[in-house]
């Protein structure tokens, strides 16, 4: 029996998230006395695959197939479900990101496996199987019982620390049986405009609110994000005003994100805004009102005028980076 | 071409959530129920398409799995402009049970595009849309922030690193909707509210499906430690803390 983790790749490379998933799956496998196995779909070099051995994975099933070049939920579901059956997977672990959110529910129906999504910790109890997940946009945790023999967990990014645990890993190149299921979706066009990271996947996010006063003041926000290899975001009024594109709006009615580090600059910290960002591991707030609610959510705060503080911060970071 | 928008009802965003019965149930006293924000945007987009004669969209329906107490939410969707509605008459127990009920509604009807939200803002499940697609064996695309229909041809787009990708897919399919699909949710006008009273809500008997999971109890999240305030004239200190204490940069 095994714990099967789907380790997505980005143009043939793994990200920190992949290692978080591997760490989580290995710990879970240990608890359950099962084998931690990973499945990778797409063209990934051997060296890259080997990296997962550092996080306790015992077997890597690598599938390369031209028909799987494009991410299509139906074909990917079939491939992963077939492997899960072959490897007697009792637990499937995926990321709580776009790919995981598209695959986990489909796998659930196919394998009749209950799902806990957006989980940040190991199960509390194994039998019955009880695991905690965030609900009400982070305002509560729910203890969820998964009642099926096979279970699926999607792990929230940045919620589980990496556990280095070198293992002897075998890499098995496997074939996918795609008889009778051609992908029905096809990518017609890709527009790369921003060069920026996908907000929902970014490790670091720099976000500005109405306290930034004018779209002309966004320069240092862009710079800070650039220096940190992060993405930019904003509060809802900022995108409503057309200061920033709508894709950047985070919160209850916008994107829900969980970066490692979130800068809230000139953002008051309304509950609807926090609903989208409170799962961030660290929050830094810059606001000229020391009573702004954002400081209750933040670990680090600077009380001051953002238009003055921010350029200094950018300058200091530039220095620190070149040192 | 017909669109079905699956709607869930959630507590209004300003609700302070409280629990009752030993923290096993949401305390619903005083809660204002609203249409889940993403479902409101899906409905808005569906209606925009219907208004555009070149899309070929003729009808927009909504479906909700829930007891009779959810009807005001359904009426709201009808007032915003949906043509008709289905209510599967059962308590929503988990995503699997809900998706199984919705699958029956889809099979009994004639829908080309089925829209679900990326998540319900209460249980944050992100599951119903994908499960529904798998029950129906339909293609699905998750996280779509654009939906275009021209003469029955469908194109959706979703965000990726650095931009977006445009995806064509055949009908019928399930679109799982992210922010961006419509800019502002449409609101009900007086005329819509009057008309909604006459629009049909079809009550569908529930299919016997057991849930796969159960919420046992709720608890408040771990409190965050107090904020560490840093001198605005010394941003270097923040950088040092982020590097050495938090270890995030
Ligand atoms: C149904 C509903 C859904 C909503 N969904 C969302 C959502 O998804 N996301 C979202 O963000 N909002 C959402 N909102 C709006 C939300 O309630 C707040 O109004 C919004 O988040 C406030 O944005 P803000 O903090 O940028 O602006 P403000 O509330 O105007 O706050 C500006 C902040 O900047 C500070 N400031 C001013 N000048 C400076 C300066 N020079 N330097 C530093 N700080 C300064 C002020 O002290 C203040 O704290 C929603 C509201 C409703 C009713
Ligand atoms: N009770 C319900 N009735 C109809 N649709 C629902 C219901 N619950 C969830 N949905 C749909 O599924 C989406 C995602 O919900 P969830 O999986 O609960 O996060 C929602 O945005 C709705 O489109």
Whichever domain contains A313, its CATH number is: 3.40.50.1220
| CB of B9 shorter than 6 A to ligand 2 | no
- Chain B positions in Cβ-Cβ contact with residue A117 (cut-off 8 Å): 124-127
Continuous H helices in A172-260: 219-227, 236-240
Q: What band does A195 get if pLDDT is binned at 50, 70 and 90?
A: low
C-alpha–C-alpha distance, residues A57 and A38, integer Å = 7
B11, B213, B236: residue with CB nearest A316:
B236
Quick check: A98 and B143 CB within 8 A?
A: yes
Chain B interface includes A110 (CB < 8 A): yes
Chain A interface includes B119 (CB < 8 A): yes
- Mean pLDDT for A304-322 is 94
Instruction: Supply the pLDDT for residue A126.
Output: 96
* Overall number of domains in chain A: 2
What separation in Å is there between the alpha carbon of B43 and the centre of ligand 1?
26
Chain A interface includes B23 (CB < 8 A): no
Mark whether A14 and A54 lie in a shared domain: yes
CA nearest B117 in A: which residue?
A: A253
Q: Within a domain: residue A32?
A: yes
Distance in Å from the first CA to the final CA of chain A = 50
Give the closest residue to A171 by CA, choosing from A266, A37, A78.
Answer: A37
pTM over 0.90: yes
Tokens (6 digits) for A37: 């196995």
Mark whether A167 and A240 lie in a shared domain: no
C-alpha–C-alpha distance, residues A31 and A272, integer Å = 37
> Predicted ipTM?
0.94
Q: Tens digit of pLDDT per residue, chain B (249 long)? A: 999 999 999 998 778 889 999 999 999 998 999 999 999 999 999 999 999 999 999 999 999 999 999 999 999 999 999 999 999 999 999 999 999 999 999 999 999 999 999 999 888 899 999 999 999 999 999 999 999 999 889 999 998 877 889 999 999 999 999 988 998 899 999 999 999 999 999 999 999 999 999 999 999 888 888 999 999 999 999 999 999 999 999
A246 or A22, greater pLDDT: A22
Query: HSE of A280 in the Cβ direction (CA atoms, 13 Å)?
Result: 36
**Is A123:A31 a contact under the CB 8 Å cutoff?**
yes
Mark whether A150 and A210 lie in a shared domain: no
- Mean pLDDT for A254-258 is 88
- Extract the runs of DSSP E, i.e. beta strands, from chain A: 2-6, 35-41, 59-63, 89-95, 114-119, 129-135, 140-146, 151-155, 170-174, 186-192, 204-208, 231-234, 261-265, 282-287, 300-303
What separation in Å is there between the alpha carbon of B10 and the centre of ligand 2?
10
DSSP states of A18-86: HHHHHHHHHHHHHHHT-EEEEEEES---HHHHHGGGGBT--EEEEE--GGGSS--HHHHHHHHHHHHHH
Ligand that comes closest to the CA of residue B70 = 2
Nearest 5°: phi and psi at B158?
-140, 155
Mark whether A102 and A160 lie in a shared domain: yes
C-alpha–C-alpha distance, residues B158 and A102, integer Å = 12
Q: Which of A16, A70, A105 would you mutate first to test chain B, the one with the most B CBs within 10 A? A: A105
Q: Average pLDDT, whole number, for chain A?
A: 94
Ligand that comes closest to the CA of residue A209 = 1
Q: Within a domain: residue A187?
A: no
C-alpha–C-alpha distance, residues B237 and B1, integer Å = 60
Report the share of chain A in percent with pLDDT over 90.
83
Report the share of chain A in percent with pLDDT over 70.
99
- Chain B positions in Cβ-Cβ contact with residue A271 (cut-off 8 Å): 13-14
Chain B interface includes A228 (CB < 8 A): yes
Mark whether A110 and A166 lie in a shared domain: yes
C-alpha–C-alpha distance, residues B125 and B10, integer Å = 12
C-alpha–C-alpha distance, residues A64 and A87, integer Å = 18
The CATH code of the domain that includes A22 is 3.40.50.620
A107 or A201, greater pLDDT: A107
Per-residue b/e over B183-220, b at no fewer than 16 CB within 10 Å? Answer: eebbebeeebeeebeebebeebeeeebebbbebbbbee
Mark whether A120 and A214 lie in a shared domain: no
SS3 B138: coil
pLDDT per residue as tens digits for the range A281-299: 999 999 999 999 999 999 9
Instruction: Supply the pLDDT for residue A194.
Output: 64
**Element at B156 (helix H, strand E):** strand B153-160
Instruction: Supply the pLDDT for residue B168.
Output: 96
SS3 content of chain B, % helix, strand, coil (to 5): 30, 30, 40
Q: What domain range is A236 assigned to?
A: 204-322
- Domain B2-220 = CATH 3.40.1050.10: no
- Chain B positions in Cβ-Cβ contact with residue A260 (cut-off 8 Å): 248
Q: Which residues contact B16 (CB under 8 A, 6 or more apart)?
A: none
Nearest 5°: phi and psi at A102?
-80, -30
Chain B interface includes A74 (CB < 8 A): yes
- Chain A positions in Cβ-Cβ contact with residue B227 (cut-off 8 Å): 285, 295-296, 298-301
Domain ranges of chain B: 2-220
Q: Which residues contact A23 (CB under 8 A, 6 or more apart)?
A: A55, A56, A160, A161, A162, A163, A165
Mark whether A56 and A149 lie in a shared domain: yes
Mark whether A8 and A114 lie in a shared domain: yes
């Amino acid at each position: 029996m095994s714990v099967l983790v789907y380790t997505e790749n980005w143009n043939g490379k793994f990200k920190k998230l992949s290692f978080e998933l591997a760490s989580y799956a290995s710990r879970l496998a240990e608890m359950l006395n099962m084998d931690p196995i990973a499945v990778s779909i797409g063209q990934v070099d051997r060296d890259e695959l080997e990296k997962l051995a550092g996080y306790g994975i015992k077997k890597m099933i690598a599938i390369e197939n031209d028909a799987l070049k494009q991410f299509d939920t139906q074909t990917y579901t079939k491939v992963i479900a077939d492997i899960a059956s072959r490897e007697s997977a009792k637990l499937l672990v995926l990321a709580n990101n776009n790919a995981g959110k598209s695959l986990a529910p489909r796998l659930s129906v196919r394998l009749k496996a209950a799902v806990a999504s957006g989980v940040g910790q190991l199960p509390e109890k194994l039998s019955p199987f009880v695991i905690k997940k965030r609900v009400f946009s982070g305002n509560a945790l729910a203890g969820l019982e998964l009642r099926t023999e096979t279970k699926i967990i999607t792990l929230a990014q940045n919620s589980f620390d990496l556990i280095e645990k070198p293992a002897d890993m075998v890499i098995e190149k496997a074939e996918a049986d795609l008889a009778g299921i051609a992908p029905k979706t096809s990518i017609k066009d890709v527009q790369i405009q921003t060069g920026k990271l996908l907000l929902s996947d970014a490790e670091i996010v720099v976000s500005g609110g109405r306290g930034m006063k004018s779209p002309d003041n966004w320069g240092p926000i862009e710079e800070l994000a650039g220096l940190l290899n992060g993405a930019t975001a904003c509060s809802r009024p900022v995108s409503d005003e057309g200061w920033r594109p709508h894709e950047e709006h985070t919160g209850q009615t916008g994107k829900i994100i969980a970066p490692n580090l979130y800068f809230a600059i000139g953002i008051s910290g309304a509950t609807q805004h926090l609903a989208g960002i409170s799962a961030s591991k660290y929050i830094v707030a810059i606001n000229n009102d020391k009573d702004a609610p954002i400081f209750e959510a933040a670990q680090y705060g600077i009380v001051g005028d953002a238009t003055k503080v921010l350029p200094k911060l950018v300058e200091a970071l530039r220095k620190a980076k070149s040192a | 071409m017909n669109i079905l928008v699956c709607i869930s009802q959630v507590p209004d965003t300003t609700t302070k959530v409280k629990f009752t019965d030993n923290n096993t149930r949401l305390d619903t006293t005083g809660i204002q129920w609203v249409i889940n924000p993403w479902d409101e945007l899906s409905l808005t987009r569906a209606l925009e398409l219907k208004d555009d004669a070149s899309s070929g969209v003729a009808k927009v329906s909504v479906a909700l799995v829930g007891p009779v107490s959810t009807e005001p939410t359904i009426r709201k969707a009808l007032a915003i402009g949906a043509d008709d509605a289905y209510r599967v008459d059962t308590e929503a127990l988990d995503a699997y049970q809900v998706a199984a009920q919705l699958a029956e509604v889809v099979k009994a009807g004639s829908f080309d595009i089925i829209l679900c939200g990326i998540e319900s803002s209460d249980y944050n499940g992100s599951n119903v849309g994908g499960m529904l697609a798998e029950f129906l064996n339909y293609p699905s695309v998750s996280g779509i922030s654009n939906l275009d229909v021209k003469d029955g041809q469908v194109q959706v787009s979703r965000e990726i690193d650095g931009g977006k990708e445009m995806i064509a897919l055949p009908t019928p399919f399930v679109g799982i909707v992210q922010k961006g699909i419509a800019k502002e949710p449409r609101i009900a006008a007086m005329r819509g509210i009057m008309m909604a009273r006459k629009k049909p809500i079809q009550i569908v008997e529930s299919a016997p499906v057991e849930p796969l999971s159960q919420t046992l109890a709720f608890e408040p999240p771990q409190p965050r430690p107090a904020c560490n305030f840093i001198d605005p004239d010394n941003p270097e200190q923040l950088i040092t803390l982020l590097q050495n204490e938090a270890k995030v940069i």
